[in-house]
Amino acid sequence: MAVAFEKARAEGRAVLIGCMPAGFPTVEGSIAAMTAMVSAGVDVIEVEIPYSDPVMDGPVIQRASDIALAGGVRTADTLRIIEAVAGTGAPVVTMTYWNPIERYGVDAFARDLSAAGGTGLITPDLIPEEAGEWLAASEAYGLDRTFLVAPSSTDERLAMTVGHCRGFVYATALMGVTGARERTSDAAPTLVSRVRAVTGLPVGVGLGVGNGVQAAEVGRYADGVIVGSALIRCLLDTPDEATGLAALRTLSAELAEGVRAVQR
């Protein structure tokens, strides 16, 4: 992960992080999708473990997660997917609501994630105060910890949260759920500079990016541009898998160009 950020920094650009739920539209289909994203220029793959009650997610990710769960995807399948995608050479980070991890066993999951080649976890509904077991397990297995910061976080909380992060920090640019929007957030640059004031870690910005222009815009001030719903939509609104994958490649390439369009 650190290598991806360093390489992009050397090229004077931001890292492109593309998100896809594990098992959507099927286990094999999600591996194909993520592999296609990598070959089209996405630097880092964020694999989301599908969950029945994803309160941070908008309708697109909800629908994709429901499809994955209805298809019977299990946590063990997610680990298999991570292993396959890590095999492409791209760093793979996992995003997950907390209950599936708690159910699997925090230490056991950290062990198996590490064995599968995953770099760490983004935890949207886990704050450092509740993360005792995860702090210990991530130390034990050398995994990255990405907690979220928000525009509403006080300076004190922001410093505390960032202090518990390793790998990169996730700045939720909008007060709201995931989903591509016509405009990205005005609050994001301010939030990123607040994070920079307390850490040297790279900062990823998520929520709202849907096209190359927006990726360029966010890439101007953030170290990582995180894209989910817009990529997932390529596979939701498609007559067949081949067409969906083609759209996914096109959008991935456009976003990859976007982050390269600005020199920092």
Is 117 an interacting residue with respect to other proteins (CB under 8 A)? no
- Give the count of alpha carbons within 13 A of 156, CB side only: 0
> Is residue 11 within 8 Å of residue 59, measured between CB atoms?
no
Shortest distance, position 49 Cβ to other proteins, whole Å: 9
CA distance linking residue 170 with residue 147, whole number of Å: 6
Site string for other proteins, 41-60 (x = CB under 8 A): ----------xxxxxx-xx-
Identify whether 57 is a catalytic site residue.
yes
Q: Is the torsion defined by CA of 137, 4, 202, 219 positive or negative?
A: negative
3 state SS of 46: strand
Whole-angstrom CA distances from 121 to 101, 109, 117, 165, 171 are 10, 10, 12, 10, 15
Nearer to other proteins, 69 or 247 (CB): 69
- Give the count of alpha carbons within 13 A of 209, CB side only: 32
- Name which position in 152, 193, 243, 250 contacts other proteins (CB under 8 A): 152
- Name which position in 6, 12, 39, 99 contacts other proteins (CB under 8 A): 99
Is 249 an interacting residue with respect to other proteins (CB under 8 A)? no
Shortest distance, position 260 Cβ to other proteins, whole Å: 30
- Give the count of alpha carbons within 13 A of 198, CB side only: 19
- Name which position in 154, 182, 183, 239 contacts other proteins (CB under 8 A): 154
Shortest distance, position 101 Cβ to other proteins, whole Å: 8
Site string for other proteins, 13-42 (x = CB under 8 A): ------------------------------
Q: Is the torsion defined by CA of 244, 19, 195, 262 positive or negative?
A: negative
Is 148 an interacting residue with respect to other proteins (CB under 8 A)? yes
Sequential DSSP letters for 113-175: HHHHT--EEE-TT--GGG-HHHHHHHHHHT-EEE-EE-TT--HHHHHHHHHH-BS-EEEE-SS
Shortest distance, position 153 Cβ to other proteins, whole Å: 6
Is 106 an interacting residue with respect to other proteins (CB under 8 A)? no
Shortest distance, position 51 Cβ to other proteins, whole Å: 7
User: Which member of 28, 43, 53, 57 is catalytic?
Assistant: 57
122: its two tokens: 């983004």
Site string for other proteins, 174-213 (x = CB under 8 A): xxxx------------------------------------
Residue 241: how many other CB atoms lie within 10 Å: 15
Question: Which residues of the chain form contacts with other proteins (CB under 8 A)?
Answer: 51-56, 58-59, 62, 66, 69, 74-75, 98-104, 124-127, 129-130, 147-154, 157, 161, 172, 174-177
What amino acid positions are annotated as catalytic residues? 46, 57
